[in-house]
Structure formats: structure tokens, C-alpha cells
Amino acid sequence: MNPELKVTASTRGSSKQIIGRKIEFNFNVTNTGNGTADASTLMASIPANSSFHSATDEGTYGGGTVTWNLGNLAPSATKDVSMTLVANGPGEAAAMAEVTGVCVVPASASASVPVVGVAALLLEAIDSVDPLEIGDSTQYEIRVTNQGNGPATNVQLTGEFEAF
């Protein structure tokens, strides 16, 4: 009787995530052998550009990893667990998972999702004299502020004034 553990990893949701939003990583562990996999444990790493939010099935967080005690997995038994992280910075958010058990060769899998920032432009036009009487002139201070968490590229400001 030989237990054999397999693990798959995936992300749930869109093909990319935005900084500040949640990422869900799902893991499926299956005993494909013909013996019970005793004391099975799954450990998943937290990507450097993410922080821990929650885990299902009493998964515990510590030292940059989430750990699940899966117990004894009978032949053909399957266990699904997941962790939810918050994307803190741009780049690839990749989580690596490894499943182990007594007298079982460890198995691993990984899943990743790109994390991007989003530009959010604020445009302000402020006149220097207010109120303005007919026939007077004024100057405008125009400010463009990126309030987002990603770069704003190729920004151009153009304008037209009516001829009097």
C-alpha cells in the first residue's frame, strides 16, 4: 500500500489583479495512491508583493506561509483549500504550494497572477481672480494629479479658448 499525493494550484477571478484588491489562490490535494497518506500537510507561500487576508479550513498563517493540516487522506480522497491575499505592489503574485505526508514523496504546484496599478487622474483649473468682471483678464493654474497607484503615461493636456 503506497500513498501518493498530488496538488494543483490555481487563482480565481480575472487574468490580472489591481493593487489593493484581493487574490484568491485555490489548492486541490488528491491521494492518487492505494494507501492512506497519514498526517498530510499543505504549505503555501505568500508572494512578496502580497499580504495575508484569510484562509479556509483552519489554515494558519506564519512566517510567510499558510499551513493546512489535512489529516489522513484515504486512497482517492480529495481536499480543497484556499487562501485570500491582498495585492500590495505591482509584479507577478506567485504562490508555491507543497504537500507532504508520512512516507509520501512531497508534491508541489504553483499559480500566479499579474498585479498592476491603475492611474486615476484629477484635473483642476483654478482662476487667479474671482469674480471676474466683463472685459477683465485672468490666469488659470491647471493641476493634473495622479491619485492612482499606477503610472500615467503619455498624458497630454490641450485646451482651447473662445476668441472675443
pLDDT digits (tens, 9 = 90+) for 38-47: 999 999 999 9
| 82 Cα distance to chain centroid | 13
Q: Which residue has the higher pLDDT, 63 or 161?
A: 63
Pairwise CA distance, residues 28 & 46, whole Å? 17
Other CB atoms closer than 10 Å to residue 126's CB: what's the count? 10
Q: Region 54-78: what's the mean pLDDT?
A: 97
Neighbouring-strand partners of residue 3: none
Q: pTM of the prediction?
A: 0.82
Between vectors from CA 58 to CA 69 and to CA 60, what angle results, nearest 5°?
A: 80
Which grid coordinates belong to 68?
493546512
